[in-house]
Chain A
Amino acid sequence: MRLKALAGSLSGKLSGGSKRCLSTRCSMGTSQEVMPKVSLRVQKTDAPVIVNMKKLMASREDVLSLAQGIVHWSPPPQALQAASVALAQDPSVHGYGPAEGLPMLREALREKIAKRNGLTQHDVLVTAGANQAFTNIVLALCDETDNVALFTPYYFNHLMAFQMSGSADRVQLGPCNPNTLHPDLDWLEAQLASSNKPRMVVLVNPCNPTGVCLSEAEVERAAAACAKAGVWLVLDNTYEDFVYGESKHHCSSAPNVINVFSFSKAYGAMGWRVGYIAYPTSGGPQLGLELLKVQDTIPICVTQLSQRLALEALLSGQEYVASQIQDLAGNKAMVLDALSPLGSMGNGIAGGEGAIYLWARLPQHAQEDTRAVEWLVKKHGVCVIPGSSCGAPGYIRAAYANLKPGDCQRAAGRLKAGLSELVQDGNALKH
């Protein structure tokens, strides 16, 4: 809507009242006729769900979002201060830095992954967010002719990365246990033993979108099964700090495992774009060199100031992070209660072990999840994301870190009212 208004104002500035370019330089014809085709791989790539959710939310006033996977807090104040100081005093922030990342940040990350994640024979590549890390890995480790595996429900950007790079027809989707939503590792082992095994398997732990947390045994079983088949396992640990109750986060340090991390959620640094890859060095230098090639072709290097922020956040921000995450318990309880018309934990609702998501099954008579999400926005002013975008129609994902407690309570209230109505009225979506 806004775009059309802008178009109107811009075309109004051209003389003659025509929207077309008046320069003699234009090769005209209608744009449909002379615009060549876009690639097959992009055509096979899903549209980004969060973008669609934002459009949906813009269609009416006062919508509260439990959709995008963001946190409501900003980076630790001392990290922002460090960025501010670097901006004022360090002229090197304006130049390219090393492609692999600021040396001090990499050093601090190597210490972190060793101490915290048990990754001692690993090196670090700093990326512009975890999505860029994953793109790097896909380009460096598999070809468009390779099979790859995700578990459904999957993190949508992982599927998109495979589609976009040409592997759309090669994605094998593994199931999760319908009650626990933990990935079916029996399926994985069978798949890896088959003749068309995948070359790369991806797990998100703690899980986006389901909010489950895998045990050490599960992670190591997946890693071992992949290793036996000579296959890469990619572990996306974006939510490693977000574990609750008895859950513990575990990374595998096996030489066939690539670990991805992010600064976005824990440190509230989404807009700064910093993530990292921890990759094994035990197999020699080649892996690092190949990852570096991709780095040089995509971001060249990560924003210098962002790396200064990340360094300080890492060095001094742990208490801040822990405190923010602890305070999420209230939000989680509210959203869990909001979902209660749909069931209970383990029976229609999953998650709560980790990450910032709860995952719930829609009523039998209201399985069209995209329609249900639209209806919740339009009628109840609250937004969640449809399970279809994660490969699981009939479900919704509700995020609970987006809003400060006051707003979360309002959002939860709306969600509960909406879901109650949805459950009780078999024709709700038909209205």
Chain B
Amino acid sequence: MEHQVSRRTLSTDNPVVSVTQDAMAQGTDVIGLAQGVVYWPPPPEVLDAAQAAVKDPSISRYGPDMGMPELRQALREKVARDNKLYNHNICVTHGCQQAFINVMLTLTDPTDKVILFRPCYFDHHMSICQLGGGREAGIVFGPRDSQTMHPDIDWLRTTMSQPDPPKVVALVNPCNPTGIVLSEEELRAISDICAGAKAWLILDETYENFVFSPELEHETISAPHVVHLFSFSKAYGMMGWRCGYIAYPDFDWSDRLGKEFIKCQDTVCICANQLGQRAALKALEMSCAQYRDEKIATLKKNRELLLDALSPLGTLCNGIYGGEALYFFAKLPHGCEDDLEAMKWLVKHAGVCIVPGSACHQKGYFRVSFGNLDPASMEKAAARLKAGLARMVVEGIGAN
């Protein structure tokens, strides 16, 4: 058949969720530790507000492309107050993933090089490929420090000072999949390097509220070349509501970037769903922040459980990494580097499912999430994972 699919789609990885769901389907009674979701529903006030709005005729009509005006204004205030991003404008999107697509369409051509640090967030890699940028070394992988999993900034400095440097650096902070958090110094260094190379820096800050270690803090950088992506999904348990946003510099209020984003927005989704936006507006209220932070605090227990479950593989910064966002990233035992096989082995022998590092372009590792189960359920999952890893260390995974 001559009419085929595109090269750009063929160059795109399969969705990770397909890989993990297929794996889970091979076992019985498998607990997933793969999906990056939280176990709680949205705050009760949000549900009440949504219920009150369902039959409102305006919910059924298109809203303005860039978002409901009240929500955009509330978000301008939020990013100023909480993120110190003053004079930033907002584009409300169908989740943070659609935000990333908008931004990549607006800032890159298929021939541009984009830097991702390995292991990378799989959806960013997929998006770049899907838009035609994955071929001919369009994705430039930056290394991470093997002890800390932090991006190698010296490498970045060298790479960006070559002729014809990459056009975009995309980071997730706090990080999916490694679970690390960048310091203000690191962010400033990365930002300055990008500025010097006239490159864009995209910061996916979906997990801004998910910092657990007391000595760490989520920071961000305000600059004309830095674009920020945020999400309502994880913090407020609103995955199914599909609401995220871009916060972009608009220092002179000319909305230069907005005039371009709106083209993609109009073409891809016209506008984000109205009910989701109404719910998101409610979620920004103080009482919901309290709810959010209480729920996130319950994950401390989950973290402890999983860190202990991973202990057959090492300790934090030595075989195990991260622990912020919703993730730990861990190194498989010697001889078990085939992470796809290791995933299947854990499904079969331990009844748990993790995300193989290959999905993040880092073979020999895997990612676990600690957000998707309440602490009581996580105990059971963690016990299984620990038993499985302990056995794996001794027996291997039987694959050559």
Contacts and interface: CB of A to CB of B under 8 A. Distances in A.
Interface in B256-311: 256-257, 259-260, 262-264, 266-276
Q: Which of A27, A301, A302 has most chain B Cβ within 10 Å? A: A27
Given A10-B87, A166-B110, A296-B15, A25 B221 contact: yes
Contacts of A242: none
Nearest to A84: B54
B258 to A, nearest CB: 9
A99 interface: yes
Contacts of B18: 292
Contact of A99 (B17, B69, B195, B198): B17
> What is the interface residue range for chain A against chain B?
35 or more
A39 B266 contact: no
A74 B61 CA distance: 8
A21 B276 CA distance: 31
A128 B269 contact: yes
A96 B110 contact: no
Interface residues of B, number: 105
B363 interface: no
B108 interface: yes
A131 B270 CA distance: 8
A167 to B, nearest CB: 10
Nearest to B261: A42
Interface stretch (A104-112, A266-274, A335-343): A266-274
B47 A87 contact: yes
A295 to B, nearest CB: 8
Interface string B53-87: 01101111111110001000100110010001011
A23 B242 CA distance: 32
Q: Please provide the 5 A-B residue pairs with the shortest distance between their CB atoms, ordered closest to farther.
A: A230-B2, A304-B240, A48-B266, A271-B274, A296-B15
Interface of A: 2-4, 6-7, 10-11, 14, 19-23, 25-27, 29-31, 34-43, 45-48, 50-51, 54, 68, 70, 74-75, 80, 83-84, 87-88, 91-97, 99, 128-129, 131-132, 135, 139-144, 146, 157, 160-161, 164-166, 199, 226, 229-232, 255-256, 268-273, 283, 286-287, 289-290, 292-294, 296-306
24 contacts: A3-B253, A10-B76, A25-B84, A25-B222, A26-B223, A35-B225, A47-B262, A51-B266, A94-B41, A99-B15, A128-B94, A132-B94, A139-B8, A140-B5, A141-B6, A165-B131, A269-B60, A271-B60, A271-B62, A271-B63, A271-B274, A297-B127, A299-B95, A304-B240
Interface of B: 1-3, 5-10, 12-15, 17-18, 35, 37, 41-42, 47, 50-51, 54-55, 57-65, 69, 73, 76-77, 80, 84, 86-87, 94-95, 97-98, 101, 105-110, 112, 123, 126-127, 130-132, 167, 184, 188, 191-192, 195, 198-200, 219-225, 237-242, 249, 251-257, 259-260, 262-264, 266-276
